[in-house]
Chain A
Amino acid sequence: MNDIERRSSAAAEPPATLAAPMDVHAELDDLRATIDDRLVAASSLDELDKVEAETIGRRSRVAELRRGLGALDPDVRRLTGLAINDAVAELSVKIETRRRSLEDEAEGERFAAEKVDVTLPGRVPRRGTYHLVQQVMDEIIDIFVAIGFTVASGPEAETDWHNFTALNIPKTHPARADSDTLYLDYGDEDESVLLRTQTSPMQVRYMQQHEPPVYVVSPGRVFRRDEVDPTHTPVFHQLEGLAVDSDITFADLKGTLAYFVHQFFGPNQRVRFVPNYFPFTEPSAEMHASCFNCDGSGCRVCGSSGWIEMLGCGMVNPRVFEAVGYDPTEVTGWAFGMGVDRFAQGRHGIADLRYFWDGDVRVLEQFQ
C-alpha cells in the first residue's frame, strides 16, 4: 500500500528531472546570481511571496532538484544535497530580510495613515468642581480635625435664645434689629425664630449637649439683612471654633489660630492680635494676618496696611458658660468665628461675592 501510495503521489508531482550534478551547481549559482534583483523587484509582500514560491517553494525548481537527488549515487547525492541546502538557506535569509523590510514599510504607511494631530483637544471625561466656599470650608475643617477637633452642624432657622440671648447679646443690641436680622413668621410670641446671623449658636447647642472638654468647629450658612454689593450677600458662610477645657488660655487661642493660619496660608504668614469687642467673648480680639498678596508691604488687597482682618475671637464670656450650664470657675474656653466667603474672596482675588451665588458655570469651572 505504501508503495502504491508513494508511487501515485510521486506521479501527481511534476516529474523530477534527472540532471547531472554539475548542472545542479550551475543552476544554484544562477539562482544566487539573480535572487537580489528579483527581491528588489518584489515591491509588495504578495510579490515577495511569489518570488519565494518560485525560488525555494514546494513547487520551485530547487524543490524539483531535491526530489531528483534520490536518483544519484550516494556520494554525489550527499554533496549535491548539501549544496542545495546551502543555497536554500542563503536564499531564505535574503527573502526574510526583504520581507522584514517590506513589513516595516507597510507598517510605516499604516501608522502614517493613522496620524492624529496631538495638539487637538483631548476627549476629556466630564468632571465637576466643588464650590470654592465649600473647598475653603473643608480645608479649614481638616486643619482643625488634624489637631483633634470634631465638627458639628446645626439648624439655620434658629431660636432667638440660641442666636442672641445665650451669647450675652442684650435685647437692646443693634444686631437684633429688623434691619440686620431676618426674622421668621413662625413659632409663638415668646420666642422669636430667626435665620441665624452667626454660627455661634452652635457653640451654645454643642455645650448644652456635651460636657466639657469641648473641641469643635462648626461651619454653615448664616444670614444677615444686608444689601447686596460686591462684599455683602444676605446669605454667606461662617466657621466657628470652640475649645473649652479646664485649662484653656488666651495663649492657646493665639497659638491655635496662628497654627491655623500657617497651615492655611503657609508658615511665613505673620499674624497679630488686636483687641476688639464681642458680647460673647472677653477678652475679645481680632486676628490679622500679613497680607497674602503683598506679604505685608501694603497693596490694594490689604488697603495698604499690610494686614488682612481674618477673624474675630476671644475667651468665652463667663455669661455664656452660665447660659449653657457650665461652671465658669471650672472651665475656660476660647472661640473664634470667621467669614468663609470673604476669606475665599480675598485669597483668590474674586472681585464680587455675587459670583458665589449666581451658578455661572464659567465661574464654577474655575474652582478646580
Chain B
Amino acid sequence: MKVPLSWLREFVELPDDSDAVAAALEQLGHEVESVEVLRPQFSGCVVGRVEQIVPHPDADRLRVVTVTTGDEQRTVVCGAWNFSEGDVVVVSPPGATLAGGFEVGQRAIRGVDSPGMICSERELGLSDEHEGILVLEDDTPLGADFSDLSGLPDVVFDLSITASRPDAMGVVGVARDLAAYFDTPLHVAGSHVEERGEDAAVTVHLDDPDGCPRFTAREVRDVSIGPSPLWMRQRLRACGVRPINNVVDATNYVMLELGHPSHAFDMDRLGETVVVRRAREGEVLRTLDGVDRVLDPADLVVADGGNAVAIAGVMGGETTEVDESTTRVIIEVAYFDPPTVMFGAKRHGLHTEASFRFQRGMDPAMPRIVNDRVATLLEDHAGGIPAPEIFDAYPKTIEPWQVTLPLSEVSRVLGAEIARPTVVSYLERLGFGVSADGDVLVVTVPTRRPDVTMAVDLIEELARLHGYDNFPNTVSMGNGGGIAPDLRRTRRLREVMVGAGFHEAMTYSFTGPADLDRLEVPADDQRRQTVALSNALSDEQPWLRTTILTGLLQAASNNASRRVDSIALFEVGKVFLATPDAEGLPTQPDHLAFVIAGTADSGWFGSGRDPDVLDALGIVDLIGSTMRVPLRRRTVTASGWHPSRAAEILDPDGTPIGMAGELHPRVADAWGLRGPVVAGELDIAVFLEPQPRWEFVSPSNYPPVINDVAFEVDAGITAASVLAAARSGAGPLLEDARIFDVFEGDPLPAGAKSIAIRLTFRAGDRTLTDDEVGDIRREMVAAVAAATGARLRGEIT
C-alpha cells in the first residue's frame, strides 16, 4: 500500500527526515517495501490566466493565447483546444525547464513569436496526460510558483500491511500508529455535510443484516462530472490509482485516506429503491469490468427494485456506473461481513481493492463518517448538493469489546517489565480505553481492531510501541534431546553415498503416468498405487511420487543433454503410497535411490569405464556394511531392469527392501541416456533401526596362510552360495574369503562355471602349519561340494 509522506503529515506531526519515519513504520510492523522520492521535473513555472485566444494567422490547428501571470502578460502559440478564456493554466516562460530536462526558449511558431508555453501534465512530468493543457482550479492565485501547488517533492512509502491490521489500510490508520509511536496527537477533522433541498428520495431495504450489518446511503444532487482537482489527482497517482472523474476519484480518495471503501451509483439509473439481499438463483450482473456474472444464491448483492446492481463489497455493476452524464448519485458506504465478501470474491475470482479490505474486516463504526467525507468532497469539487438526510441502517450495533490484561502477563510473555503507567500510555495512544481492576487492566477495544481479542494481542501492541529491539536477549537452553538416532543414521547413510562419489540431488515429489511408463512399472506394481493431487501443478505430474528413480533419471537425462559425462546422483526422501497408515494418511516411507550413468574415472592416466551392475551392488554392499545391516540379494527378473543384471535386495529377515542393478536399456533410452545405466532404490527403514553394539576382535600377530581354490559348479549356482559354504566349511581360523575370479566357457564344459576363492587363514595364538591348513581346506572343499555340488578344479598358486 502506497502512502505519501505529505498525506501522513496532514494528520500527525512527523520528523523532517523521511528515513526516521520509515524506521518508525518498520518498528510498528508496517514493512517498508520501497521508498519512492517524487521530485518536480519542472522549474520556473508559474500560474497564469488565459486572457484572450485568437486564431493563428498561418495555421488552422494552432491558436495564439494571451496569458497573465498577474503582473506580466505574454502571448504564446498553443496547439491544444481544451481550454477557454478565463481558465487558469501553468505558464512556463523562457528559462523554465520542463520534464525531460527540456528548457523553454523564445521562439517563433509559424511566424508568430511565442515567448514560453502553457503546459500539459506530461510536459510538467505529472502524468502521461498530453491531450490538453493542464487547467487549474479557478481560485488558484495568479503568479504563484507552480512547484508550491504540485505537492512536490514528496516521499511515498510502499507499505506491506499485515492481514491482521485492516485498520491500517488507510493513511489515517497508519498516521494513528505513527502518532502513538512518536507520542504526538493525531488530528482528524470531522466532516460537516451541508444538507440542502428536498428530502432524499432513496429508500433502502436492508434485507440481510447478517451479510451487511450496517449500510449507509446518501443522495447527492446536481453533481457536475469533471476532473477532480490537481492535488487530488496527484495523491491518487502517488498511491497508484488512476484518476477517473471527480465522483469516482472522491470515493477512491476517501478509501485511501480512511481505509474504508465506498461506491457511487448513478441514481438516475439505479432508481430510488436500494435493496441489500442475497442473489437470486440464476441472476446475472454485468460488473464494471464488462463481464456478465451468473450470481450464486450465497452472493450478497446491492439491488435496485428488481435487479442486482453490485456484488456487495466486491464490484459495482455496469448499468449504474457513474459517467459524464451523471447528475445524481447515491453514495453507498457499508460494513459487510468479512467471510461473505471473501467467499463472494473467491467465487467470482474478483479480487478488488474493496473486497480485499472488506474481507479483512472494516470498522463498523466508520460507514457514516466515510459517507460524510465523500459527500463533502462532492460538495467541494463536483458541485454536489447532499440531500437530507443520510440513510443509516445499523440494526444491531457492534459495540467495542473488552479484553482483560493482567499486568503480570506482560512480563510473563515479554520477559521484561514495562511500568504500569507506560502500559496504560501505550494502550491509550493507540485508542484503547483502559480502566483498572487491581492489577488487571480492563481494556476496551475499538471496533476497528478485530485482531485484538486476547491478552496476548494487547501484549503485542505494547511490544510494538516499546520497540522489539528494546527487550533483552536471553538464550533458551533446551533439555538436551540431541539428534535422534534415526536422523543420525540417515546422515550416515548420506555420508556413505557422498564418500562413494555420489552427488546428493533433490527432485520434486511428483510423478505421472508417463514417468512410470518410461520406468516400465507394471500395472499391478505397488508403485502404481499413487495418490493424486486435487490441484496438480502440471498435467504431466498429477501424482505424488512412489519412486525417486524417475526424478533422478530425469536429472541424469538433464545432465546428459548438457554433455555432462560422469553422472552419479543419489537422493534420500519420502515416497507416497496410497495404502493408508495408522492415521489414515498415505504411507510415506523414506527411500534412498541412486543412478550412475556415463563414463567414470577418466583422465590423462586412463580412459575410464562404463558403470555396470557390480557398481550398483557394490554400493548396496557398502551401505549394508557401514550401516551394519547384513543384506542379502536375490536374482529376480523385474520389469524395467536388465533381465539378468539386477538383484532384489533383502533385509536380514528376508523382506525385500528394493532393487539394484543395471536398468533395462529401453528404460535408459526412454530418458535419452546412452550406455549402461545402473541404479538402485531401497526403503531405508531397516538402516535407521539401532543396531546392537559391535564387539572388538584383537588382530592376530601371527602370519597368515593364504590358499586359493577354484570350484567348478553349475552355471545356475550363485556365487553367494559357494562363498557362504566355503566360509562355513572353513571354520573359525578363516580370516577372509573373497572371490577373485569367475568365468565360463573353455576349458569348462557348457553349463558350468568356475569360481575362484582366495582364503586367508590365521590363528590368534600361533603360527598355522601347512598340515593344519591342509586339513581345514579339505573339510571346506567337502562342505562346498556338499552344499553346491561344486567340484574342485585345482589349485591356483
Contact = CB atoms under 8 A, between A and B. Distances in A.
Interface in B529-580: 531-537, 544, 551-552, 554-556, 558-559, 562, 564, 566-570, 573-574, 576, 578, 580
B306 interface: no
B531 A184 contact: yes
Most B Cβ at <10 Å: residue of A245, A277, A285, A362: A277
A316 to B, nearest CB: 9
Nearest to B416: A251
Where chain A touches its partner, the secondary structure class is mixed
Most A Cβ at <10 Å: residue of B501, B531, B585: B585
A245 B472 CA distance: 18
Interface string A179-215: 0001111110001010100000000000000000101
B569 A147 contact: no
Nearest to B542: A185
Contacts of B556: 359
Interface in B376-433: 411-416
B498 A130 contact: yes
Contacts of A286: 31
Interface in A323-368: 332, 334, 356-362, 364-365, 367
Given A129-B498, A359-B552, A250 B603 contact: no
A185 B535 CA distance: 9
Interface in B467-486: 468-469, 471-484
A153 B487 contact: yes
A248 B476 contact: yes
A131 B164 CA distance: 37
Interface stretch (A5-13, A42-50, A65-73, A268-276): A268-276
A166 interface: no
Interface string B486-521: 010001001001111111111111000000000000
B146 to A, nearest CB: 32
Interface in B630-665: none
A141 B484 CA distance: 11
Given A126-B601, A234-B508, A361 B29 contact: no
A356 B551 CA distance: 13
Contact of B415 (A178, A250, A272, A367): A250
Most A Cβ at <10 Å: residue of B164, B338, B604: B164
Contacts of B588: 155-157
A284 B574 contact: no
B162 A276 contact: yes
B483 A172 contact: no
A121 B503 contact: no
Contact of A127 (B163, B464, B498, B586): B498
A332 B503 contact: no
Contacts of A234: 508, 537
Contacts of A126: 500-501, 568, 600-601
A295 interface: no
Most A Cβ at <10 Å: residue of B478, B536, B573, B574: B478
Most B Cβ at <10 Å: residue of A215, A251, A258, A362: A251
A148 B491 contact: no
A249 B478 contact: no
B731 interface: no
Most A Cβ at <10 Å: residue of B476, B531, B532, B585: B476
B622 to A, nearest CB: 13
Interface string A131-149: 1011000100100110111
Interface residues of A, number: 88
Given A128-B503, A152-B484, A275-B463, A285 B468 contact: yes
Interface string B711-744: 0000000000000000000000000000000000
B165 interface: yes
A251 B474 contact: yes
Contacts of B459: 282-283
A274 B27 contact: yes
Contact of B476 (A121, A147, A317): A147
A125 to B, nearest CB: 8
Nearest to A173: B163
Given A121-B603, A184-B544, A318-B454, A284 B460 contact: yes
Contacts of A177: 346
Contacts of B498: 127-130
A164 interface: no
Nearest to B509: A235
Given A127-B501, A252-B476, A145 B482 contact: yes
A251 B472 contact: yes
A360 B605 CA distance: 26
Interface string A295-330: 000000000000000000001011000000000000
A258 B473 CA distance: 8
Given A234-B537, A250-B414, A358-B558, A150 B481 contact: yes
Contacts of B451: 277
Interface string A278-289: 000011111000
B284 interface: no
B504 A128 contact: yes
A167 interface: no
A357 B571 CA distance: 11
Given A131-B504, A145-B482, A155-B588, A250 B413 contact: yes
Contacts of B574: 156, 221
Nearest to A171: B339
A247 to B, nearest CB: 8
A274 B482 contact: no
Contacts of A174: 163
B338 A249 contact: no
Contact of A243 (B28, B346, B476): B476
A159 B580 CA distance: 13
A80 to B, nearest CB: 54
A215 B504 contact: no
Given A275-B463, A277-B29, A277-B165, A156 B504 contact: no
Contacts of A133: 506
Contact of B505 (A123, A155, A364): A364
Contact of A159 (B479, B532, B585): B585
A90 to B, nearest CB: 47
A292 interface: no
B267 to A, nearest CB: 34
A216 interface: yes
B787 to A, nearest CB: 37
A138 B601 CA distance: 30
A332 to B, nearest CB: 6
Interface string A242-269: 0101001111111110110000000000
Interface string A59-87: 00000000000000000000000000000
Given A128-B504, A254-B468, A332 B475 contact: no
B104 interface: no
Contacts of A213: 478-479
A184 B505 contact: no
A245 B342 CA distance: 38
A284 B483 CA distance: 28
A155 B583 CA distance: 11
Contacts of A134: 494, 504, 506
B202 interface: no
Interface of A: 120-121, 123, 125-131, 133-134, 138, 141, 144-145, 147-153, 155-159, 172, 174, 177-178, 182-187, 191, 193, 195, 213, 215-216, 221, 223, 225, 234-235, 243, 245, 248-256, 258-259, 272-277, 282-286, 315, 317-318, 332, 334, 356-362, 364-365, 367
Given A172-B343, A221-B509, 10 more contacts: A128-B502, A152-B484, A184-B534, A185-B531, A185-B533, A221-B574, A243-B476, A277-B164, A277-B165, A283-B456
7 contacts: A151-B481, A216-B481, A249-B415, A251-B415, A275-B460, A282-B457, A357-B506
Closest 8 CB pairs of A and B: A150-B481, A359-B555, A249-B415, A275-B29, A215-B478, A148-B478, A251-B415, A126-B501
